[in-house]
Amino acid sequence: MAQAGKESGKHMDKGAAGDTLSMSSSSSTDDQEAADKKKKDLLPTTPVIPIPDYTEEELNKLIMYVQRMTMLFALDHRDWCEETLVTIRRWFMEVNYPLMTIFYDRNILSACLGFPLAPVADICYFVRKQNQIFTVDGFHDEIYFGTIQEDVDGCLLKIMQYVYQPIFRNYKDWNDNIKSRFCRAMDKFLCYLTSLHYKMSGLTVLYVPYVVKQISRADVQHDREFVKNLEAIVVYWTTQIRTLINDKTLIAQHDFVVPTEEYEFWLYRFEVLQGLDTQLQHEDVQQIIHVLRNSHSVYIKQVDELIEECHNEMEEAKSNIKYLFLLNEPCSHIDQAESPAAVPALIPRIVNIIRYIWLNSEFYQRRDLITGLFRNLSNQIIKFSLDQVNVDKVLQGNPRFGIRMANMAIDCCLSYRAIYDLMSKEHATLKPDIGWDLENAMIFNHVDAFIERLNDLIDICESMIVFGRLDETEAIPKPTFGGTNGEEFERTAEGVEKQFMVLLDALEHDSKELILNVNKNEW
């Protein structure tokens, strides 16, 4: 029985062990399934891309909407081609493409599902939300579209000013502190961007925040944060206005400024100042000034002074335009002269007009400005003579022409100096109280340097005849020598001629721009 009990106990132990193994195996399987499920949850799932179910009529309407909404600089609706329309159709049907652009590629109206790979002048873009399917009735509200041009900063300015700024201003979820700080930073950025964009066109444009156009509260001047934001904008205005008022320097793209360009400079300055004055009188700007005035801002005095100074500068520009206009017609006759020999006869009238401006203009009575006018007259005479001499033609084998034109230009410059000296003495005698106290060295230093360069050109022309046997009027034979050393002398002369031609060729290719350019000292 004891033995039977032992056997029975063994069987019971085995059964219990089997149950334990079974439970352990079941638990292990459950853990494995849970782990597999967790891994499956962690793996990224591929989103199901919806497929639009447009009718042919609806699809054609959507394509037509895109055609009508496309805005490009040189868009001609006759340029729409089948390939472009197929791309637009594909964009509506394949909703996984968020962007479509339309542009001209080598004068062909094209479209692509992304950005163009080659540079283009401008593009029209259409953007959808992820996997968005448009409806025909709501397409204009659902689509994001616009045009980007070469003027990147201008496009950015318009988008920020007319799209994002109103949204940020009217956003309700920010507290007042965060919103005020953000709007102040945004206004600072837009001030700079507005100034940068229009400065490239030579204009000064004042930035006016969008919120000012919506403010109508009578107690707005008591809102300290709002006034503080406006003061920051006005400080930037004062910097712009002061920079414009102080910018009286004429900058030309070449080295010889002539009287006509000085007239055009003052005409341009008046137009810019007039544009600034128009902005300062605008309702939006006046509203900001009114708010600062009522809040007793410390900046309002500075603004008033700059506005008055702007008016004074406009009066000066208007007066200078009136008097400098008198020089346009007589100075244009210099450029129309047949040769430098005809220029001296035109100079007395121009000198008399400059003297008239000196005596009668309210703002051109300064010695430095009148000296500048005569210096510009000297530049015009030099510029005309430079065109007449034509160094290119001379170095290509026309030394006689070069000698004749250089001598003619020298005579013109000397006659100009003599006429100036004579008339200055006569005018000083007629008006001894004013006299003629100008900086003659400043007026004639370019003329004197130009005469020296012309003499250098004459030396080059004579060397071309002597050493290079170059003469457009006759053929010069090679030199011949007699005697026992004749052949040796001829070889020496031929070597000198070859060496001279090498130097002349180098002069023509490397230094012809320097010979008569009195503004460059490399010669």
Q: From the centroid of its chain, how far is CA 206?
A: 18
Whether 23 maps to a domain, the answer reads no
Question: For residue 285, what are the domain limits?
Answer: 163-317
pLDDT tens-digit map of 227-250: 888 899 999 999 999 999 998 887
Residue 114 in domain? yes
Cβ neighbours, 10 Å, residue 456: 14
Quote the mean pLDDT of the chain. Answer: 85
Domain count, the chain: 3
Residue 328 domain-assigned (yes or no): no
Answer yes or no: is 9 within a domain.
no
pLDDT at residue 443 tops 80: yes
Joined tokens for residue 460: 């080059």
- Do 78 and 145 belong to one domain? yes
What letter would DSSP give residue 48?
P
Are 188 and 143 contained in the same domain?
no
Do 145 and 230 fall within a single domain?
no
Q: Are residues 144 and 168 in the same domain?
A: no
Q: What's the per-residue H, E or C state across 242-288?
A: HHHHHCCCCCCCCCCCCHHHHHHHHHHHHHHHHHHHHHHCCHHHHHH
Q: Please state whether beta strands 108-112 and 144-148 pair in parallel, antiparallel, or not at all (unpaired).
A: unpaired
Q: Write the DSSP assignment of 284-353 as a string of letters.
A: HHHHHHHHHHHTT-TTHHHHHHHHHHHHHHHHHHHHHHHHHHHHHHHHHHHHT-SSGGGSGGGHHHHHHH
Q: Which of 284, 317, 350 is the last residue of a domain?
A: 317
The answer to whether 72 and 102 have CB atoms below 8 angstroms apart is yes
Residues 344/412, Cβ–Cβ less than 8 Å:
yes
Least confident of 103-112, 149-158, 315-324: 149-158
State the CB neighbour count (10 A cutoff) for residue 171. Answer: 12
> In the listed set 150, 183, 201, which residue is the last one of a domain according to the structure?
150
Q: How far apart are CA 345 and CA 323, in angstroms?
A: 22
C-alpha to C-alpha distances, 8 to 1, 4, 14, 20, 265, nearest whole angstrom: 10, 6, 10, 18, 121
Percent of the chain with pLDDT over 90: 51
pLDDT surpasses 50 at 405: yes
In a domain, 42, yes or no: no
| Residue 142, token pair as written in the block | 């659902």
Q: Give Cα separations from 369 to 258, 363, 376, 499 (angstroms).
A: 13, 9, 10, 50
Residue 411 forms part of a structural domain:
yes
Beta carbons within 8 Å of 157's beta carbon, 6+ residues apart: 190, 193, 194, 197
Residue 68: the pLDDT is: 94
Residue 343 has pLDDT above 60, yes or no: yes
d(CA 469, CA 449) in angstroms, rounded, equals 29
My answer on whether 367 and 228 are in the same domain is: no
pLDDT exceeds 80 at position 121: yes
Instruction: List beta partners, residue 127.
Output: 99, 144
Q: What is the pLDDT of residues 369-403, one digit of tens each?
A: 999 999 999 999 999 999 999 888 888 888 999 99
Q: How many whole angstroms separate alpha carbon 230 and alpha carbon 215? A: 12
Both 374 and 496 in one domain: the answer is: yes
Checking if the pLDDT of 127 tops 50, the result is yes
Closest CA to 121 of 136, 106, 137: 106
Q: Please indicate, yes or no, whether residues 387 and 456 belong to a single structural domain of this protein.
A: yes
Q: Which of 150, 185, 218 is the last residue of a domain?
A: 150
Residues 371 and 408 in one domain: yes
When pLDDT is averaged across residues 495-502 and rounded to a whole number, the result is 85
Over residues 156-178, the pLDDT tens digits come to 888 888 778 878 877 788 887 88
Together in a domain, 122 and 243? no
pLDDT category at 280 given cuts 50, 70, 90 is very high
Same domain, 142 and 170: no
Q: Reduce the DSSP state of residue 88 to 3 states and report it.
A: helix
Asked if residue 33 belongs to a domain, the reply is: no
Q: pLDDT (tens digit, 9 = 90+) per residue, 189-200?
A: 999 999 999 988
Per residue in 466-497, pLDDT (tens digit) is: 888 888 778 877 877 888 787 888 888 888 88
Q: Is residue 78 helix, strand or coil? A: helix
257 and 174 share one domain = yes
Residues 112 and 249 in one domain: no
Q: Is residue 276 part of a domain?
A: yes
Using 50, 70 and 90 to split pLDDT, how confident is the model at 349?
very high
Task: Tell me: pLDDT of 351 over 90.
Answer: yes
Q: Dihedral through CA 171, CA 176, CA 179, CA 182, nearest 10?
A: 180
Model's pTM, two decimal places?
Answer: 0.71
Instruction: Spell out the residues 6+ positions from residue 356 whose beta carbon is closer than 8 angstroms to its own.
Output: 326
Highest mean pLDDT among 137-146, 227-236, 345-354, 434-443: 345-354
Token reading at 492: 């020496």
